[in-house]
Chain A
Amino acid sequence: MLEIRNLHARADETPILKGINLTVKAGEVHAIMGPNGSGKSTLATVLAGREDYEVTEGSVTYDGEDLLDKPAEERAQAGIFLAFQYPVEIPGVSNSYFLRTALNAIREARGEELLDAIDFLELARDRMKLLKIDDSLLTRGVNEGFSGGEKKRNEIFQMAVLQPRLAIMDETDSGLDIDALKIVAEGVNALRSSKRAFLVVTHYQRLLNYIVPDFVHVLHDGRIAKSGGKELALELEEKGYSWIEAEVAAS
């Protein structure tokens, strides 16, 4: 589904990604871990199509097509979703209007029928139950005045409504207490299927107790320094990131 080959990207002349290689198949859950500043958000954001980052080398294909050519909206329409580390507040646009517009933009691009307000509400309510989200969230401005936890839950709620095929979650666990973390994980697990893949970016192992990954990759200085199974996350939890750095330095 996703093939990342030797990806290099920079922002303002500063190289950040320095040769990422990663293959993700449908049905898989990949965790991307790594210390702060290692490039996790940059990778997630480059995949979502942010133009501030310049790709200087390498390629990314999605369903066999070049992804880097496509503007952000076409990636979303093709089924890529990024749950932001820092969701943006958009005052004056209600959450429900925003999400219906987004859903219909995606359906329109796929030649599917548009949902009217009533059908949309039915769908939204159903997904809100899944994430134990309060009804009032729909009428509030997008992320406007939301607590950190509410913002993260709103991201996963959007994901549950938009039903992406490749979901990228950037530190969705940060700022969540254990109860909220469990709810979010349940929501994500409910979406797991053989047709869908997840890229779960996280700094801590904790989330991975609830969303169990098939693969774990450790990002260090813009490269994947180590890959393994779910036990790698536990090892990192125990030993921290420094031994990876030592390994990289030694090689």
Chain B
Amino acid sequence: MTDTMERILRDHEALVQERGADALHALRTEGIARFKELGFPDTHLEDWRFTNVAPIAKSDLTLGRPSTNGVTPDDVARLGFGGSLVFVDGHYRADLSDAQVGVSLASIRDTIDFELKDDAPAFVALNTAFLEDGAVVEVEGELAEPLHVLFIGTDGKACHPRNVYHVKRNGRAEIVETYVSLGTGEHWTNAVGVVLVSENAALKHTRLQLENESAFHTSNVWVSQARDSRYTSNVVTLGGRLTRNDITAALRGEGSLGTLNGLFMTRGSQHVDNHTLIEHRVPHCESHELYKGILDDASSGVFTGRIHVYEDAQKTDAFQSNANLLLTDTAVMDTQPQLEIYADDVKCSHGATIGQLDEQALFYLRSRGLTKDRARNLLIRAFAGEITKRLDVAAVRERADRLLDSRLPGNEEG
């Protein structure tokens, strides 16, 4: 058994001692048993072929506790967007937040692991083993303002937030999760999100990953959509040393529309792996998926896009596109669509590209007086812009744009 596994078991034991047999105790026990059985995934597993989590398994991180951190209101103002729920090392901090968590995890125990129990992947099981806290939001009617949820990780800590969003019948909401680091050292965020979008409800859900380049980030988001619902996910990854995002959107009610957008820009030796699964379980649903990656230096990326159209899901309309831009010869991208279509009357299209900047376009711009760097930057920004322009919270879009700009050749800063 690895040292890390031993420490995880010890951390779990300590948590059980601390919390006693509370409402989440049984779930935690199941979670740790499952994680013990599965262990850290290795690259022999089909789903992990291109992402090696050994650096996480070998890392020396301790479980984040509510008391441990040195985060100030100034940090929150600097790192967040205001109007936030603030979590530090996975724990809600009322003193730093200007919004309130209305609902406790314990009170929605039955919702929080819908369908996760039986075949939970390793990191979901691990998250369950450490269930304590997370953003729990129930929306009835319309949320007037976007809700910001800020997750601050501190050096040396591992955290396992469980976020649950339920937009009830006819409701409307926009939720922005922002993940940042307080310092520059290693830490690990292993988040699980459970999202329920009820009949005729709509949720826009943005995840902005801006953690430092030593951080590990794993996430699993499970979305269930009811009849005539709308769900849009924007996953923007600029930070992290090693990031793996899994999202599963299940279209369970007719007339629902699921949209998954993604963008990452990596440099140095950053690695970003996006796994998406869209389940068309019933007829007459639509899904749109657009993921883009920009890879600089010796960074690497993975995109796996599964679309599963169930036998009954006639009149499905599914569109998937994955486009990647390699800025160097040393950057590496692996992309694979996986279509599993069991219905016969469906419209399903997909396309994946991996390429360099268009030489013709570069020359065209330079022939108009733009320097090589400016021409490159303009093309890179245009490539990214197709996603960032979809971020409809202005402050979020501007921050993403600014960070992208700061990474362009000739503009680099820290």
Name A's B-contacting residues (CB within 8 A).
48-50, 52, 71-73, 75-77, 81-82, 84, 87-93, 98-99, 101-103, 105-106, 109, 158, 162
Report how far A71 CA is from B366 CA in the complex, Å.
Answer: 8
Of all chain B residues, which has the CB nearest A106?
B369
Provide the residues of chain B in CB contact with A87, threshold 8 Å: 364
Q: Give B358's nearest chain A residue, CB to CB.
A: A88
A101 touches B370 (CB 8 A): yes
The yes or no answer to B392 lying at the interface (CB within 8 A) is: no
Report, as a range, how many residues of chain B touch the other chain.
20 to 34
Residues of A within 8 A of B367 (CB): 48-50, 72-73, 75-76, 81-82, 84
User: Is B364 a contact partner of A162 (Cβ separation < 8 A)?
Assistant: no
27 A/B residue pairs, CB under 8 Å, sorted by A: A49-B367, A72-B366, A72-B367, A73-B366, A73-B369, A73-B371, A73-B375, A76-B368, A76-B369, A88-B358, A88-B361, A88-B364, A90-B361, A90-B364, A90-B365, A91-B382, A92-B383, A92-B386, A93-B378, A98-B365, A98-B368, A99-B368, A101-B378, A102-B368, A102-B369, A105-B371, A162-B369
1/0 contact trace for B374-392 toward A, CB 8 Å?
1100110111011000000
Q: How many Å from the CB of A41 to the closest CB on chain B?
A: 13
B382 & A101 in contact (Cβ 8 Å cutoff): no
Residues of B within 8 A of A72 (CB): 363, 366-367
Q: CB < 8 Å: which of B359, B371, B382, B386 contacts A90?
A: B382
Cα separation A240 to B39 with both chains bound (whole Å) = 79
Once the chains bind, are A92 and B369 in contact (CB under 8 Å)?
A: no
Give the docked Cα–Cα distance between A71 and B362 (Å): 12
Q: Quick check: is B360 within 8 A (CB to CB) of the other chain?
A: yes
CB distance from B409 to the nearest CB of A (A): 15
Task: State in angstroms the CA–CA spacing of A214 and B370 once bound together.
Answer: 32
Smallest Cβ-Cβ distance to A94: which chain B residue: B382
Q: A76-B366, A105-B370 are in contact. List 5 more A-B contacts (CB 8 A).
A: A49-B367, A73-B366, A77-B369, A88-B358, A105-B371
Bound CA–CA A90/B358 (angstroms)? 9
The CA-CA distance from A206 to B378 in the complex, in Å, is 38
Q: Which residues in A have their C-beta under 8 angstroms from that of B379?
A: 90, 93
Residues of chain B whose beta carbon lies under 8 Å from any beta carbon of chain A: 358-361, 363-372, 374-375, 378-379, 381-383, 385-386
**Which 7 residue pairs across A and B have the least CB separation, nearest first?**
A92-B382, A76-B369, A102-B368, A72-B366, A88-B364, A105-B369, A106-B369
Residues of chain B with a CB closer than 8 A to A50's CB: 363, 367
B365 contacts across to A, CB distance below 8 A: 90, 98, 102
Q: Looking at the complex, which one of B366, B368, B372, B386 makes contact with A162 (CB distance below 8 Å)?
A: B368
Closest chain B residue to A89 by CB distance? B361
Across the interface, do B369 and A49 meet the contact criterion of CB distance under 8 Å?
Answer: no
What's the least CB distance linking B94 to chain A, in Å?
43
Chain B residues lying within 8 Å of A81, measured Cβ to Cβ, are 367-368
Residues of B within 8 A of A105 (CB): 368-371, 374
| Shortest Cβ gap from B204 to chain A (Å) | 22
Report A-chain residues with C-beta under 8 Å of the C-beta of B358: 88
- Residues in B neighbouring A103, C-beta threshold 8 A: 369
A93 to B386, CA, bound (A): 10
Once bound together, how far apart are the Cα atoms of A98 and B386, in whole Å? 16
Give the chain B neighbours of A52 by CB distance below 8 A: 359
- What is the minimal beta-carbon distance from A200 to any residue of chain B, in angstroms? 17
A99 to B378, CA, bound (A): 12
Bound-state CA distance A105–B375 (Å) is 11
Cβ–Cβ < 8 Å partners of A101 in chain B? 370, 374, 378
Smallest beta-carbon distance B201→chain A, Å: 32
CA distance A119 to B369 in the complex (A): 19
The distance from the CB of A12 to the nearest CB of chain B, in whole angstroms, is 14
Closest to A107 in B: B369
In the assembled complex, the Cα of A88 lies from the Cα of B379 at a distance in Å of 12
Q: Which residue, of A75, A81, A101, has the highest number of chain B Cβ atoms within 10 A?
A: A101
Cα A84 to Cα B381 in complex, Å, equals 24
Inter-chain contact B385/A158, CB cutoff 8 Å = no
Smallest Cβ distance from A155 to chain B, in angstroms?
Answer: 10
Residues of B within 8 A of A71 (CB): 366, 372
B368 and A84 form a contact (CB under 8 A):
no
CA distance A76 to B369 in the complex (A): 5
CB A169 to nearest CB in B, in angstroms, measures 13
Q: Please give the distance in Å from A139's CB to the nearest CB on chain B.
A: 13
Q: Is the CB of A92 within 8 A of B368?
A: no
Nearest opposing residue in chain A for B360, CB measure: A88
Contacts of B381 in A (CB 8 A): 92
Closest CB in chain B relative to A152 CB, distance in Å: 14
CB distance from B200 to the nearest CB of A (A): 33
Q: Bound complex: CA of A52 vs CA of B366, how far in Å?
A: 14
Nearest residue (CB) in A for B363 is A50
Residues of A within 8 A of B361 (CB): 88-90
Residue of A nearest to B371 (CB): A73
Which of chain B's residues has its CB closest to A161's CB?
Answer: B368
Closest CB in chain B relative to A212 CB, distance in Å: 27
> B359: nearest residue on chain A (CB-CB)?
A52
Verify A73–B372 contact, CB threshold 8 A.
yes
| Nearest opposing residue in chain B for A51, CB measure | B363
Residues of chain A within 8 A of B385, CB atoms compared: 92
A100 to B270 Cα, complex, angstroms: 35
User: Residue among A48, A50, A76, A90 with the most chain B CB within 10 A?
Assistant: A90
Contacts of B368 in A (CB 8 A): 76, 81, 98-99, 102, 105, 158, 162
CB distance from B140 to the nearest CB of A (A): 39
